[in-house]
Structure 1
């Protein structure tokens, strides 16, 4: 079971939903009508959780596959609309439906009381079971889950498994990680003795990793707690009712068994060849998006930084105060929060694509830091430069344009270069909203191949080559400016 999600994202989404539109949603439910009018069912999911949802290459193209994807296809078919899959970090799927980015979320979601406070749920379309993964060599040591009491148990952060382990294994040390692949790696290396995980996911790991074994968790009311349901925004009664009709059809025809069997074939195909060369196009696409975000964010960040520093240095308080406030707020809050706010917050007003929202958020963040870098460069110059320029008739604007800024940029070039490199690396946070950058692709490849380390090494090498090349290029221009 996946983590319950980034509560911060949900909090931001809930805040942005407070308004006339949100208040009228429950009174006037047009959720189903809206989907039919647009002709598209937008589904939020996180393709790093096979066999529920993952990605594979079919005829040279990347496709979303898995049990949840097939359920989504059937719902869209019954509604008579097209299906649009919105891939994002699992922590963002509930925020996506709360802010209208998606109509429904299908991402291996278990129904919990906490989630019911934020979203509406359909009937369960699948019921599995809870298990523990252990190292096969420890089967005699831990033949049943009861033997795990007092041991080290790993679970996914904020997940149902975490809640269950905390409740029923309160004498054990329960540690959390964000990704299942990291938990498996920790298990293999002896960092934890067992990993709490859902039965279908555990079965897939055991089938493709001969070092692992699976034991039943033995939790009370296991079948009820393990149910998977579709989520929609609060008050989406008509849409949930339509979804329930599709689920009734799926269960009547026992299609979930067929869906899982088909998903298993894709899992087997991915596991047959786990060479990183097979996934070169994943890393290549991640490289392109990461580079695009960094270049555009720095370009617009410099323009915004220039504007902010001019405002901050202005004698007019009406200009200097807003600029100062903006810089302090941006520098005082995490970039992840800013990315979520731009994507989900502005998403209530403008339907921004994830990539566009990511570029805007990173550029807005970079602009604040660039402003301070430029201000530092300006303040480092002798005041006599300004006095000399004005003495020969230069206006304040011309003095800044032709005398101060050229010298300031020459002095701050190394700092701007460092900012570029920082943006290149820190922009990886945009993967949380589904931007297919290097980190996003890394998690997809890890999920598809069941390999924890190799994809990390590949991405680390790519980042190093990018930053090394960029550093050499920036140093070249620095030497050229010093020579001039």
Structure 2
């Protein structure tokens, strides 16, 4: 009951913020403009003390970038490994706090940093001048060149960056490599994707001619896939922008200084090249030897568990809120009707992915303790409620007015009429449509993977990055979704048949 109460409260809060966020933002901007000079001068940086006070260092990264950060099975358990993981662990140890890792899409990392979902980003991020406008960076801790990965069969065809005229080059969305393709590979077009393993799939399927990435990462993919080949792209890059550095929220001077102390120690002792790089290579070799899909069944099982949890809870709250919205929309009260119409049209008119990210990064900025799983459930529930409301409304309006009049003539009040006459008949009429919504919800819940929720799609991406295989994990995931939705479809059809029989 406590969980249900908490989830209901969060749903109501999210609903309120969706309506009033624009007004809150306007007020905040006005307030900021009137007191910006005083706030800048009066506030002091407490980033380091805040981390030490809470006892955790929350690090954001995208664990699909070997040898910097990726996943491997260690003693039967899935663990994050790689150069950046070692640096993050060392940094947390120097601060005397516990390391907490948040894995999400690369292009969401800076958003997570700016909304204080993470304390720092350690994800082989290049400290470009554009990024420096929004966040602060530590000193560069590792430097590598830019390499282009191609299919080995095209080795004679592509020999330098000028060989790709009128071709498509892949690069990770939001990365320096993406901008380099646009600026320095004239005649070539760029295709951006959030995950490198998806870019490798695009390469092997002929969707792109090559993929531009960091030297160490390119060599990692090539060493684990005999069908790939990599060469130095010889890009013209600023040495101050090409290396990897830690990113921090703007003004986090004390935390940046602490990070620089850790980096200085690592560089002085050459730990990264002597220890971290060889360790990453060791994990990559052990992974490539045991990268059969059977050994990763726990990934898919865990992902399915999260997917079902999200779906079941979202169906419950989406159905409850959908009933309320449907009754509000058919209500004679003009205010209730207008609010319901506004909500339904707004939710149906915006993508679910945007809603998920807004709830997590937007509402999550006001509620710092809001977990990614809870944010995903709230967003999916709010989205489902809008569609369920329309289904229920159409079902209620499909009941002949004579049914209502007959119930009222028998002495039933409005509440009893709806409870015993209208709703039971409406449920029978809308059962197929509700069933379709529930089945759709199972598939659409995969979108929550963009904020780091460990659902089935998220786990699939981990398997792809760990095994260096792209298509097979997707095929397995597709079959799991099919089995679940087909089973649910048969289950719903059974009850639909019973309801028709009862008529």
When the two structures are superposed, what TM-score results if normalisation uses the length of structure 2? Answer: 0.89
| Aligned with 1:400 (options 385, 394, 418) | 418
**Residue 439 of structure 1 aligns with which residue?**
457
Question: Per the alignment, do residues 25 and 103 of structure 1 end up closer, same or farther by CA in structure 2, a change over 3 Å counting?
Answer: farther
Q: Distance in 2 between matches of 1:341 and 1:134?
A: 37
Q: Distance in 2 between matches of 1:243 and 1:57?
A: 29
Q: Distance in 2 between matches of 1:16 and 1:182?
A: 39
**Residue 336 of structure 1 aligns with which residue?**
353
Larger deviation, residues 308-317 vs 297-306? 308-317
Q: Distance in 2 between matches of 1:190 and 1:407?
A: 53
Q: Distance in 2 between matches of 1:108 and 1:17?
A: 37
1:212 is aligned to 2:228: yes
Question: Per the alignment, do residues 369 and 151 of structure 1 end up closer, same or farther by CA in structure 2, a change over 3 Å counting?
Answer: closer
1:358 is aligned to 2:376: yes
Q: CA deviation at 1:469?
A: 0.3
**Residue 372 of structure 1 aligns with which residue?**
390
Q: CA deviation at 1:150?
A: 4.5
| Aligned with 1:173 (options 150, 167, 189) | 189
**Residue 486 of structure 2 aligns with which residue?**
468
Contact 2:166 2:189 in 1 (8 A): yes
**Residue 262 of structure 1 aligns with which residue?**
279
Larger deviation, residues 236-245 vs 187-196? 187-196
| Aligned with 1:345 (options 355, 359, 362) | 362
**Residue 4 of structure 2 aligns with which residue?**
none
Contact 1:129 1:223 in 2 (8 A): no
**Residue 419 of structure 1 aligns with which residue?**
437
Deviations 1:66-122 (A, max 9, x none): 111111111111111111111222222212121121111111211122222221111
Q: Distance in 2 between matches of 1:252 and 1:302?
A: 60
**Residue 315 of structure 1 aligns with which residue?**
332
Structure 1 segment 183-202 matched on structure 2, within 5 A: 183-202=199-218
Q: CA deviation at 1:242?
A: 1.0
Q: Distance in 2 between matches of 1:334 and 1:191?
A: 26
**Residue 6 of structure 1 aligns with which residue?**
none
Q: Distance in 1 between matches of 2:341 and 2:164?
A: 55
| Aligned with 2:237 (options 221, 231, 241) | 221
Contact 1:129 1:222 in 2 (8 A): no
Count of aligned pairs between the two proteins? 471
**Residue 472 of structure 2 aligns with which residue?**
454
Q: CA deviation at 1:41?
A: 0.8
Contact 1:17 1:98 in 2 (8 A): no
Contact 1:91 1:432 in 2 (8 A): no
Structure 1 segment 90-101 matched on structure 2, within 5 A: 90-101=106-117
Structure 2: gaps spanning 5 or more residues: 1-21
SS in 1 for 2:257: helix
Q: Distance in 1 between matches of 2:206 and 2:327?
A: 56
Q: Distance in 1 between matches of 2:68 and 2:97?
A: 22
Question: Per the alignment, do residues 182 and 100 of structure 1 end up closer, same or farther by CA in structure 2, a change over 3 Å counting?
Answer: closer
Structure 1 segment 42-57 matched on structure 2, within 5 A: 42-57=58-73
**Residue 124 of structure 1 aligns with which residue?**
140
Structure 1 segment 242-253 matched on structure 2, within 5 A: 242-253=258-269
Question: Per the alignment, do residues 145 and 440 of structure 1 end up closer, same or farther by CA in structure 2, a change over 3 Å counting?
Answer: same
Q: Distance in 2 between matches of 1:225 and 1:309?
A: 54
Structure 1 segment 29-108 matched on structure 2, within 5 A: 29-108=45-124
Deviations 1:11-59 (A, max 9, x none): x9xx799677996578321111111111111111121211111111222
SS in 2 for 1:126: coil
Structure 1: gaps spanning 5 or more residues: 1-11
**Residue 231 of structure 1 aligns with which residue?**
247
| Aligned with 1:294 (options 308, 311, 319) | 311
SS in 1 for 2:376: helix
Contact 1:16 1:348 in 2 (8 A): no
Contact 2:138 2:247 in 1 (8 A): yes
Contact 2:106 2:174 in 1 (8 A): no
SS in 1 for 2:72: strand
Q: CA RMSD in A?
A: 2.1
Question: Per the alignment, do residues 203 and 222 of structure 1 end up closer, same or farther by CA in structure 2, a change over 3 Å counting?
Answer: farther
